Amino acid sequence: MAWVQLFIAGFFEVLWALGLKFSHGFTRMGPSLFTLTAMGASFWFLTQALRTLPVGTAYAVWTGIGAVGIAVIGMIFLGEPRSWARMFFIALIVIGIAGLRWSASR
């Protein structure tokens, strides 16, 4: 269950990172409230996962999910550059997340 909670926390991290983009430095009320709500949810789920998982593993996976998720959203929806090098390094993060998940279950 802790891994599910951690992945949900990562999902909310992607949402709050996206919300930061649209809040314009917390000057727009709607996106700012969305961002703060997503932050709260992300931290809450991370806290729940940390009851069981080691903090180093959980934090690395949580930030990795956020980094990969927002990078992919940026490329698909926000017109950010799509280069082979960028996709390669994103893939390395995914491999790192999978490796941490795999090594934690051993």
Could you read off the pLDDT of 56-90 as tens digits, one per residue?
999 999 999 999 999 999 999 999 999 999 999 99
What is the span of the domain harbouring residue 39?
Answer: 2-104
Whole-model pTM over 0.85: yes
What is the pLDDT at residue 49? 97
Number of domains composing the chain: 1
Q: Which residue has the tokens 């729940």?
A: 48
> In 62-103, which ranges are E strands?
none
DSSP string, 21-32: HHHTTTTSHHHH
- Over pLDDT 90: what percentage of the chain? 91
3-state secondary structure string, 29-44? HHHHHHHHHHHHHHHH
pLDDT at 61: 93
| CB neighbourhood size of 84 (10 A) | 7
